[in-house]
Amino acid sequence: MDGIDELTREERFDALVAAEEKVEPADWMPEAYRKGLIRQIAQHAHSEIIGMQPEGSWITRAPSLKRKAILLAKVQDEAGHGLYLYAAAETLGVTRDELVDHLVQGRQKYSSIFNYPTLTWADIGAIGWLVDGAAIVNQVPLCRCSYGPYARAMVRICKEESFHQRQGYELLHTLAHGTPAQHAMAQDALDRWWYPSLAMFGPPDTDSVHSARSIQWKIKRFSNDELRQRFVDMCVPQAEVLGLRIPDDNLRWNPDRGAHDFTPPDYDELKRVITGDGPCNAERMAHRRAAHDDGAWVREAAAAYASKRAA
């Protein structure tokens, strides 16, 4: 392929993206676009899978059969999200096995939020409300992402995330309007999950490595700080209905900006958690590796069955 053809392909790709059309797996795409998407979709898939752990540990301890059934369905949905996303990544020329290897070898990341512990039942409510809530704010714009398979996977994921957020909110609302001890438990969960949830939007725009290009290619639509602001503005009235206090003395409406002023999360802590030094990083990875090893016989049996049928 000579230089002129290369330019034409690139121009055609740029025009397609500019026209808000979808890039499909068979289309030519710049190598950096492909690699960047694999990194982002894999990280997203890994987050869904690792994200099952903090909540999964509460399935056996849910306070009623109804709560147990709801949580079981929710955690199962997260496994499904991981599968849709691994499948979307595979259309870019990697295999799910490779991506899972990258995760268990610690060569690809997952969301920092899942390295925090779930200490009480109220944490399950706080995760649904705040963590799934932040995921929705992040992910709704991804339904319009320029890469077709990722955008389509996100449509279904976002519908399920919205159920997740409501179940968490309803759980927390029940506790916040229960006994004083239950209210205190709900407040304590909000106190612990608020800033890690704000950190889910990533580093501030001034430090964000991948943002500018992602926005140019219409993978990302809004910057980290824009999405964080949107999340805070969404949570303030919801916290009022819950009767809980967001743990930020500087949180107030700013009429000039038409938005809330707030204290940003501790970005040094975010950096530490991302690089492996969070409260539960080692535990999450050990659990994931053990589950992967324990499941080896299932993968082998499935492969043997598939090859038998093919023969």
Residue 260's contacts (CB-CB under 8 Å, 6 or more residues apart) are: 229, 232, 233, 236, 251, 252, 253, 254
Compute the 3-state secondary structure of the chain and give helix, strand, coil in percent, each to the nearest 5.
Answer: 70, 5, 25
Smallest separation, CB 35 to Fe ion (Å) = 24
Is there binding between residue 55 and Fe ion (CB under 5 A)?
A: no
Q: Does 161 bind Fe ion (CB under 5 A)?
A: yes
- Of 59 and 251, nearer to Fe ion (C-beta) is 59
In sequence order, the 6+-apart residues with CB closer than 8 A to the CB of 192 are 116, 119, 123, 126
Q: Which stretch binds Fe ion (CB under 5 A): 4-12, 72-80, 83-91, 236-244?
A: 72-80
For Fe ion, which is the closer residue by CB, 48 or 123?
48
**Sole window of 128-136, 140-148, 174-182, 198-206 interacting with Fe ion (rule: CB under 5 A):** 128-136
Residues with Cβ within 8 Å of 90's Cβ and at least 6 positions away in sequence, in order, are: 96
Site mask for Fe ion (CB under 5 A), range 205-244, x = bound? ----------------------------------------
Count the alpha carbons within 13 Å of 291 in the hemisphere toward its beta carbon: 13
- Closest CB 197 distance from Fe ion, rounded Å: 13
Listing DSSP states for 110-157 in one string gives: --GGGGS---STHHHHHIIIIIIHHHHHHHGGGGG-SBHHHHHHHHHH
Cβ proximity to Fe ion: between 50 and 244 the closer is 50
CB of 131 to Fe ion, least distance (A): 8
Nearer to Fe ion, 13 or 161 (CB): 161
CB of 199 to Fe ion, least distance (A): 17
Q: How far is the CB of 77 from Fe ion (least distance, A)?
A: 6
How far apart are CB 78 and Fe ion at their closest, in Å? 5
Q: How many residues bind Fe ion (CB under 5 A)?
A: 6
Distance CA 102, CA 104 (A): 6
260 binds Fe ion (CB under 5 A): no
**Using the rule CB under 5 A, is 44 a contact of Fe ion?**
no
Q: Which of 67, 81, 102, 230 binds Fe ion (CB under 5 A)?
A: 81
Separation of alpha carbons 94 and 112, rounded Å: 24
Q: How far is the CB of 222 from Fe ion (least distance, A)?
A: 20
Min. distance of Cβ 233 from Fe ion in angstroms?
A: 21
**DSSP 3-state of 243:** coil
Q: Is 50 helix (H, G, I), strand (E, B) or coil?
A: helix
DSSP state at residue 271 = H
Question: Which 163-202 positions form the footprint of Fe ion (CB under 5 A)?
Answer: 164
Q: Which is nearer to Fe ion, 16 or 234 (CB)?
A: 234
Question: Do 133 and 235 form a contact (C-beta atoms < 8 A)?
Answer: yes
- State the residues that interact with Fe ion by CB under 5 A: 48, 78, 81, 132, 161, 164
